[in-house]
Amino acid sequence: MMFQRLLLLFIGVPLIEILILIRLGEMMGFWPTVLLVVGTGILGAWLARLYGWTLWMEVQRELQMGRMPTDKMVDGLMVLIGGIVLLTPGLLTDLTGFLLLIPASRAIIKQWLKKKFEAQIVSVPHDENEVFRG
């Protein structure tokens, strides 16, 4: 199952991205398409830096107050992933990156991830000795 997901991620997504860029190039032309891809990369890098810096300051503030900034760390990881994804050429990856950078959509994604992780925790056996049996 994991192999299939990785295969889809590393082969399927780039193929879809190439097809979208080809169609977009046919509709808009070569240079406008190139400018769109470069522009979203620059905008994404700028937004990632802006949101990343803001989150870094919030993490520092939480630590100074003696609290563990777990939510802010998850946000920071999502911003990092969003920035990386925005630097890769393609419109689907750009959309994903922007969704990870925008605080409102990031909150929705974080809630979804939280539920998914909680479901995995519930389904894991709680026998402490199982960890040591290897």
Predicted pLDDT at 128: 55
Within the chain, strands assigned E span none
Domain boundaries, the chain: 2-123
> pLDDT tens, 53-101?
888 888 888 888 887 778 888 888 888 889 888 888 888 899 999 999 8
In the predicted model, what is the mean pLDDT of residues 26-37?
94
Residue 129's pLDDT is 53
Q: What are the Cα distances from residue 39, in Å, to 33, 45, 64? A: 10, 10, 37
Contact 114, 103 (CB under 8 A): no
Task: Tell me the pLDDT tens digit for each residue of 107-120.
Answer: 999 899 888 877 77
Please state whether the predicted TM-score (pTM) of the whole model is above 0.95.
no
Average pLDDT taken over every residue of the chain: 84
CA distances to 4, 50, 114 from 1, in Å: 5, 37, 21
